[in-house]
Chains A and B, each alone.
Chain A
């Protein structure tokens, strides 16, 4: 390639950049717009951007796992006034009922006029946190235990079972992880994170992060948390890293002296996939009303496993059967496990309002 071609290319690039910058100044709609949230808060924001970004600018963090690309469908808010019609990019994520209620994806709604929106109260309490990694150790061959000490703000208030969204630096994308520590531990958070091959955030945590590094996250989010108003017995089911929110819940109950009967079923593929076995075994020894069952779905021959095998739901049905009807059930794990478990509980006749789940 000769020098002239390079020169021409550069001149064209500069020209195009100048044209676009001028157009942006002349045409950009950066007029101030009014955002009314839940009828009681009014914010002024510079228009033109997406609702998701405008809210983040105002320190209101709507969970969006994809970082605002319109692919995860998590950032649902109710838009009561303004915002235009539902866009084709949103259609796939909204049920007909949601469309009727005015639910939109915050990352697709542009702030071009005054908007009146409704978001979950709990989301308004979510904040951005900066923390420092103090512990990062292997729990088994593909899962790490991460402890993050909070630097600013210094404390966090959350309910046992909720999650935060960790920011992957450089990519500016968020991924959701359940908190594994009890709410009483306000100055640091625990996580249980499995390495997913080619997973963005898990690779970051497993391969790039080291003790002493800082990490950013927003939260707390989620409506999966321990119902403290009730005194029913509790049945918890978890598979893999689904153990995290269940650990938070059980440790929270432990601090209260285990006021309710708890049965915890943990499912893993083989023996080497079991997480935090000693910790829960000890809990079982300490409290007679805490029962701990490990179910291996596909034990390896060298495991010499003589405990429970097969589906986790079979084990639950075997030990608790019809008595499940009077318990509160907390489920956390992959979608297939939860769907299968919901079907079983439905058959047994557990009322839907007593079943809480967190799919990932």
Chain B
């Protein structure tokens, strides 16, 4: 259990998917204008990453490895992610329309988010077991949510108080925020390791 907790913490802090691996930059820059939508997007990512990394673990270990077809894992992962997002969207729309309204619009965006694919590929590289994969997925996504909320929170404040030079407004200043945040996250180095 100590091992899984380690993985979770490391995925949130020292190996943050957005701020250390710099994956999933598209939503981090595009959907971080206000805290509410950033949180919606982040929560959707938590759902999808945990779900898809677990599904991909099963497919990889129960189908691809026995069949000796590891070489197609990249293709299979992408397709599984797309399909499970589609399925999740249908299920939400049917049974939890409230939740679908809240973050249903982000689901199609997540299909092509590289952070989601990244988690599945890393889980293979690191030979994680099922429980480890689930925690790694959950941790990475929580880290992504944290990064999104940090950026969005700062942008909201900056919109009110800061005088950002014209050329830097929008994505420009987000890049700088992300850079500084990434530097900040380096301070966690050594706290937990994988």
Contact = CB atoms under 8 A, between A and B. Distances in A.
Contacts, number: 60
* Residue among B64, B69, B101, B105 having the largest count of chain A Cβ atoms under 10 Å: B69
B72 A19 contact: no
A88 B38 CA distance: 10
Contact of A4 (B37, B68, B90, B91): B68
Contact of B37 (A8, A88, A108, A112): A88
Nearest to B109: A89
A27 B37 contact: no
Nearest to B104: A87
Given A27-B93, A29-B93, A8 B105 contact: no
B87 A20 contact: yes
B175 interface: no
Contact of B79 (A2, A16, A23, A29): A16
A54 to B, nearest CB: 16
Contact of B40 (A23, A88, A112): A88
Contact of B76 (A2, A9, A28, A89): A9
Nearest to B70: A5
Nearest to B66: A8
A200 interface: no
Contact of A5 (B40, B69, B91): B69
B120 to A, nearest CB: 14
A1 B69 CA distance: 9
A84 interface: yes
A75 to B, nearest CB: 16
A16 B75 CA distance: 13
Interface string B48-86: 000000000001000110011101100110011001001
A306 B75 CA distance: 65
Interface in A4-40: 4-6, 8-9, 12-13, 16, 19-20, 23-24, 27-29
A87 B105 contact: yes
Contacts of A9: 69, 72, 75-76
Given A19-B83, A20-B83, A89-B105, A8 B90 contact: no
Contact of B101 (A12, A13, A19, A84): A84
B90 A23 contact: yes
A8 B83 contact: no
Contacts of B126: none
Interface of A: 1-2, 4-6, 8-9, 12-13, 16, 19-20, 23-24, 27-29, 84-85, 87-89, 91, 108, 112
In the complex, the 10 A-B pairs of residues with the closest C-beta atoms, listed nearest first: A5-B69, A8-B69, A27-B90, A88-B37, A16-B83, A9-B72, A27-B94, A8-B67, A5-B72, A87-B105
6 contacts: A4-B69, A8-B69, A9-B69, A9-B72, A23-B90, A108-B105
